[in-house]
C-alpha cells in the first residue's frame, strides 16, 4: 500500500516554507501536492537577526521557533485539505527547521578523556508543538546525529538526489541553489560526492533588499542590467573556502553582509546594480568551478532550489559550463521548489524504518547513521 509523508523545508534564503505531500508507492517517491507559505517581514527579520549573537536571544529563538511551528502546521493543514486526506493517513512529517548556526568545525574536544572533537549545528523548530497541532508524528533535527559522528551534518540531500536523479552508467551533477548552493555528483560508478559550493541566493537577496526594497531579484532582471566588476569578482572568488577540498559545508556564519562589506571596501566604489551583477556571476562561477573540479565527467547539470527560477543566473551558469546542458529539475519531473522538501519527507521515512540517511563520503562522518529525532503525535 502507498504511504504518505509530508516534507517541510525552510532554507537559508529565509523566504518561507515549502511543504510537499509525498507518496511512496514502493521506493521511488512521488510528490502528490505542494503548498508554500511566506514569512512575514517581522519573522524573516528576526530569523535573520538570530543568525548572530544578540540580546535575550534564547528567549527570542524559542518564540521564533513557536511561530515557525505554527506556520509549518498551517502548510500541513493546506496539504491535507488539498489532497482530501486525513492526518491519520500520513505516516510522519519531516521538518528540517530553520538553520541559525552551522559550525560543525567549531570543536569542543575533551582530549583528557579521549573524547572526539564535536562541532554543532542548530535549526530552530518546535517539533513537539508541530506534533501537537497536526496530530502527526514529526521527525526533526536531522543534522545533529551526523555532526555527533564527526560529520559536517550537511549536505544531506545527495542521497535523495541519487534516488531521484541518478542514471545508471552516467555521471550526473545536481546543483541546489538556496541561500547556500550545494552540489551533488552522482558518479557513473554509483559513487556520490556532495558539498556546499558557497553562496547561492543569500547575498543576492540581501543586496536586492537593501537597494531596491524587494526581497529578491525576480528572474535576475536587476542583475542583468548591471556590469560585472572584475576587481570585486576576483576578491569574492579569492575566499579560501571555495578552494577547500570536501567534505565541507558552510552558511551565513561565513557568507554574510559583513563578509561582503569587507570585500567591497577593498575594491572601492561599485554601483549597486553592478554589485548585484557581480554577485550573480560570483554564485555562477563558484558553482561552475565546483562542477568542473569535482564533476568533470558529467554531461548535464540539473538545477533545483530558488536559484533555478533566476533566469539570469541560469544563463550565467550555462555560459560558464558550455559543454554541459544546464536544466531545471522541472525537466526531470520534480519542480525546483519541491526537491528539498521532498528530500526531508524521504529522510523522515528512513528514520521511521531505522534506515541510515547520511553518506559518510559526503559529510565526513565516521559511518552511516540513522538521522533525526521522532516526536510522536
| pLDDT tens readout for residues 231-245 | 999 999 999 999 999
Q: Has residue 108 got a pLDDT over 70?
A: no
Residue 276 falls in which region: left (phi positive, over 0), alpha (psi -120 to 50) or beta: alpha
Pick from 355, 332, 301, 302: which is nearest to 27 by CA? 355
CATH number for 3-154+337-375 (one of 3.40.640.10, 2.40.50.140, 3.30.420.40, 2.40.160.10): it is 3.30.420.40
When pLDDT is cut at 50, 70 and 90, the band that residue 80 belongs to is very high
Half-sphere exposure of 178 (CA within 13 A, CB side): 26
pLDDT of residue 111: 61
Q: What are phi and psi of 61, to 5 degrees?
A: -65, -40
CA distance 244 to 246: 7
CB-count exposure of residue 168 (10 Å: 0-12, 13-18, 19+): exposed
Higher pLDDT, 26 or 143: 143
Before 177, cis peptide (omega within 30)? no
Q: Has residue 202 got a pLDDT over 90?
A: yes
Percent of the chain with pLDDT over 70: 97
Say whether 158-336 and 3-154+337-375 share the same fold: yes
Q: Are 146 and 366 in contact (CB under 8 A)?
A: no
Pick from 63, 68, 66, 61: which is nearest to 101 by CA? 61
- Tell me the domain boundaries of the chain: 3-154+337-375, 158-336
Per residue in 311-363, pLDDT tens? 999 999 999 999 999 999 999 999 999 999 999 999 999 999 999 999 999 99
When pLDDT is cut at 50, 70 and 90, the band that residue 117 belongs to is confident
pLDDT of residue 355: 98
Find the mean pLDDT for residues 278-298. 97
| Domain formed by 158-336, architecture | 2-Layer Sandwich (3.30)
71: which residues sit within 8 A by CB, 6+ positions away? 16, 17, 37, 39
Q: Has residue 114 got a pLDDT over 90?
A: no
Amino acid at each position: 500500500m502507498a504511504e504518505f509523508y509530508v516534507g517541510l523545508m525552510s532554507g537559508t534564503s529565509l523566504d518561507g516554507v515549502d511543504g510537499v505531500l509525498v507518496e511512496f508507492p514502493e521506493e521511488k517517491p512521488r510528490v502528490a501536492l505542494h503548498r508554500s507559505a511566506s514569512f512575514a517581514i517581522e519573522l524573516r527579520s528576526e530569523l535573520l537577526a538570530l543568525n548572530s549573537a544578540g540580546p535575550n536571544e534564547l528567549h527570542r529563538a524559542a518564540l521564533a521557533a513557536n511561530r515557525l511551528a505554527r506556520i509549518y502546521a498551517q502548510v500541513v493543514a493546506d496539504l491535507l485539505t488539498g489532497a482530501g486526506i486525513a492526518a491519520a493517513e500520513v505516516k510522519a512529517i519531516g521538518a528540517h527547521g530553520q538553520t541559525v548556526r552551522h559550525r560543525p568545525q567549531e570543536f569542543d574536544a575533551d582530549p583528557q578523556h579521549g573524547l572526539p572533537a564535536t562541532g554543532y549545528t542548530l535549526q530552530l523548530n518546535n517539533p513537539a508543538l508541530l506534533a501537537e497541532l497536526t496530530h502527526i508524528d514529526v521527525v526533526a533535527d536531522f543534522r545533529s546525529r551526523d555532526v555527533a559522528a564527526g560529520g559536517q551534518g550537511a549536505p544531506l540531500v545527495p542521497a535523495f538526489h541519487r534516488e531521484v536523479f541518478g542514471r545508471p552508467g552516467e555521471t550526473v551533477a545536481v546543483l541546489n541553489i538556496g541561500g547556500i548552493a550545494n552540489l551533488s555528483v552522482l558518479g557513473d560508478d554509483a559513487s556520490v560526492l556532495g558539498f556546499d559550493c558557497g553562496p547561492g541566493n543569500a547575498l543576492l537577496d540581501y543586496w536586492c533588499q537593501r537597494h531596491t526594497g524587494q526581497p529578491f531579484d525576480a528572474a535576475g532582471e536587476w542583475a542583468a542590467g548591471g556590469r560585472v566588476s572584475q576587481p570585486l569578482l576576483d576578491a569574492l572568488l579569492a575566499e579560501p573556502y571555495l578552494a577547500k577540498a570536501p567534505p565541507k559545508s558552510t552558511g551565513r556564519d561565513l557568507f554574510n553582509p559583513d563578509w561582503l562589506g569587507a570585500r567591497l571596501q577593498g575594491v572601492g566604489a561599485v554601483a549597486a546594480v553592478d554589485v548585484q551583477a557581480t554577485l550573480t556571476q560570483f554564485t555562477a562561477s563558484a558553482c561552475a568551478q565546483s562542477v568542473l573540479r569535482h564533476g568533470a565527467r558529467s554531461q548535464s547539470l540539473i538545477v533545483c532550489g530558488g536559484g533555478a527560477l533566476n533566469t539570469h543566473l541560469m544563463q550565467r551558469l550555462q555560459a560558464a559550463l558550455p559543454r554541459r546542458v544546464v536544466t531545471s529539475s522541472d525537466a526531470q519531473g520534480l519542480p525546483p521548489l519541491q526537491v528539498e522538501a521532498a528530500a526531508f519527507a524521504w529522510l523522515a521515512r528512513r528514520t521511521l524504518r531505522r534506515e541510515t540517511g547520511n553518506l559518510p563520503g559526503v559529510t565526513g562522518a565516521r559511518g552511516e547513521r540513522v538521522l533525526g529525532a521522532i516526536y510522536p503525535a
